[in-house]
């Protein structure tokens, strides 16, 4: 998605921070919805993923997915898939391309993803 008039201006990464990008249109829409419903929690997610997207310090909030959701092919490369619990139901799923220090949001929503329901 190319930025256009009226879009928010994302802050550039500094120091060791990662660039955050939308990997899907669904993630872009879902992130917007999530920010509208829980702006403070979404901001904490943004800051956390920009600083350390592979952190294991708070596994209740941020963790690598397991099983069939453990990896995702993105840009022709299989990358580990992680998830950040923004709210009780809201989630951001992402993959990290360390080669270019970029976090790609592949799913974002204020509602719990249905693919984990058994």
Per-residue model confidence (pLDDT) at position 115: 73
The per-residue pLDDT for 118 is 46
Which tokens go with 24?
A: 């899907």
Residues 6 or more apart whose CB falls under 8 angstroms from that of 21 comprise: 102, 103, 104, 105
Tally of CB atoms within 10 A around 108: 28
Please report the domains of the chain, with CATH numbers, ordered by start residue. Answer: 19-108 (3.30.2310.20)
What pLDDT does 116 receive?
60
Question: What are the mean pLDDT values of the chain's consecutive 10-residue runs (118 residues total)?
Answer: 76 93 94 95 96 94 95 95 96 96 95 69
Which residues 6+ apart lie within 8 Å of 64 measured at CB?
Answer: 54, 70, 80, 81, 82, 83
Torsion of CA 38, 41, 47, 51, to 10 degrees: -140
């Amino acid at each position: 998605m190319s930025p256009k008039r009226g879009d928010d201006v994302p802050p550039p990464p500094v120091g060791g921070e990662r660039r955050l990008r939308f990997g899907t249109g669904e993630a872009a829409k879902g992130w917007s919805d999530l920010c509208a419903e829980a702006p403070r929690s979404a901001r904490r997610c943004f800051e956390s993923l920009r600083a350390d997207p592979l952190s294991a310090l708070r596994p209740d909030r941020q963790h690598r997915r397991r099983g069939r959701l453990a990896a995702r092919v993105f840009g022709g490369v299989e990358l580990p898939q992680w998830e950040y619990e923004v709210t009780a139901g809201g989630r951001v799923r992402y993959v990290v391309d360390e080669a270019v220090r970029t976090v790609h949001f592949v799913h974002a929503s204020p509602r719990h993803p249905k693919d984990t329901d058994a």
